[in-house]
C-alpha cells in the first residue's frame, strides 16, 4: 500500500494523526458496500493515519482491526448508535453498546472507558421550514452536554449542509467540547473528505488510546459549565 504522502515521521510525540472520525464499511453497516480492503486503500491514498469505523450494528473485532492496520495506519473500531436523541459515535468499546437512551448509553460508555461523540447533531433540523428549529437543543441533550457525558461534537460531516455543520461548530465552541470531523463515507470515494488531527503519543494507537486522547483534550479545554 506504500507510505501515505502526508506521513510526518518525526518525533511521535510532536506529530499529529489525521483521523477520519466517521466511516462505514460492509462489515458493520448494511447501507455501505465498502470492503475493508477498499476502505483502507482509499484512506491511505489520501494521507490518513487512521479511520474510526463507526458502524451501524457491530463493532469490528480487535483481530479484524489489527489485520487491516499497518505500522503507519490504524483502524479504530467504533459504533454509530441510533439513540433516542440522535446518532452518537462510541469509541473505546469492544462490544456494540446495549443502550439506546442517551443517558444510559453515557453510563455504559463511561464504565467501559469509552467516549461519546455527538454525530451530525443538527442534520435535518433546518429542513422543517422553521429556521429557529435548528438552534434548539433538546433539554435532555443540553443537560447531558453540560454534564460532560459526551466529550466531543462532530462539527464537520460531509453528509451535512454547511448550515448544519456551522451550527455544530457553534455548539462545540459554546459547550467547550472537542470538535471532530469525519466524512460519514459509505463509499470509498468519500473517505478522507474530512479528518481530525489528534496529537500522537509514544503509545501504539488503538481505540482505547483514541478514547483516552479525546478525553484528555476535553479535560484540557479551559472551562466547562457545571451540571447544577
CB of 54 to Zn ion, least distance (A): 6
Q: Does 154 bind Zn ion (CB under 5 A)?
A: no
Selected range binding Zn ion among 3-11, 44-52, 163-171, 181-189, rule: CB under 5 A: 181-189
Binding-site size for Zn ion (CB under 5 A) equals 4
Name residue, grid cell 461519546. 116
Backbone angles phi, psi at 6, to 5 degrees: -100, 15
| Closest residue to Zn ion, based on beta-carbon distance | 87
Nearer to Zn ion, 87 or 177 (CB): 87
Q: Does 55 bind Zn ion (CB under 5 A)?
A: no
Which of 184, 185, 188, 214 is close enough to bind Zn ion by CB under 5 A? 184
Cβ–Cβ < 8 Å for 90, 116: yes
String of contacts with Zn ion for each residue 83-112, x by CB under 5 A: ----x-------------------------
CB of 86 to Zn ion, least distance (A): 8
Residues linked to residue 82 through DSSP beta bridges, in sequence order: 87
Burial profile 27-46: b = 16 or more Cβ within 10 angstroms, e = fewer: bbbeebebebebbbebbbeb
DSSP 184-219: -BSSGGGTTSS-EEEE--SSPP-HHHHHHHHHHHHH
CB of 79 to Zn ion, least distance (A): 10
Kindly list the distances between the CA atom of residue 10 and the CA atoms of 17, 160, 169, 176, in Å, as whole numbers in the listed order: 12, 35, 31, 30
CB of 163 to Zn ion, least distance (A): 17
Q: Of residues 115-134, which lie at the interface with Zn ion (CB under 5 A)?
A: 119
Residue ranges in contact with Zn ion by CB under 5 A: 80, 87, 119, 184
Amino acid at each position: 500500500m506504500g507510505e501515505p504522502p502526508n506521513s510526518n515521521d518525526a518525533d511521535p510525540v510532536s506529530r499529529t494523526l489525521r483521523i477520519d472520525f466517521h466511516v462505514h464499511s460492509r462489515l458493520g453497516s448494511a447501507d455501505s458496500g465498502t470492503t475493508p480492503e477498499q476502505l483502507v486503500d482509499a484512506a491511505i491514498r489520501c494521507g490518513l493515519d487512521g479511520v474510526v469505523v463507526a458502524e451501524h450494528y457491530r463493532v469490528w473485532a480487535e483481530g479484524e482491526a489489527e489485520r487491516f492496520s499497518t505500522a503507519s495506519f490504524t483502524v479504530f473500531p467504533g459504533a454509530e448508535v441510533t439513540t433516542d436523541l440522535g446518532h452518537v459515535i462510541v469509541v473505546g468499546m469492544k462490544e456494540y453498546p446495549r443502550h439506546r437512551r442517551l443517558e444510559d448509553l453515557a453510563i455504559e460508555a463511561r464504565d467501559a472507558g469509552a467516549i461519546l461523540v455527538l454525530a451530525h447533531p443538527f442534520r435535518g433540523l433546518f429542513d422543517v421550514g422553521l429556521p429557529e428549529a435548528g438552534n434548539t437543543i433538546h433539554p435532555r441533550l443540553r443537560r447531558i452536554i453540560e454534564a460532560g457525558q459526551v466529550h466531543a461534537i462532530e462539527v464537520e460531516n460531509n453528509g451535512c449542509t454547511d448550515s448544519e455543520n456551522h451550527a455544530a461548530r457553534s455548539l462545540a465552541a459554546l459547550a467547550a467540547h472537542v470538535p471532530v470531523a469525519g466524512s460519514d463515507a459509505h463509499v470509498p470515494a468519500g473517505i478522507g473528505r474530512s479528518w481530525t488531527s489528534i496529537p500522537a503519543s509514544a503509545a501504539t494507537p488503538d481505540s482505547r488510546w483514541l478514547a483516552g486522547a479525546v478525553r484528555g483534550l476535553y479535560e484540557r479545554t479551559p472551562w466547562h459549565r457545571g451540571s447544577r
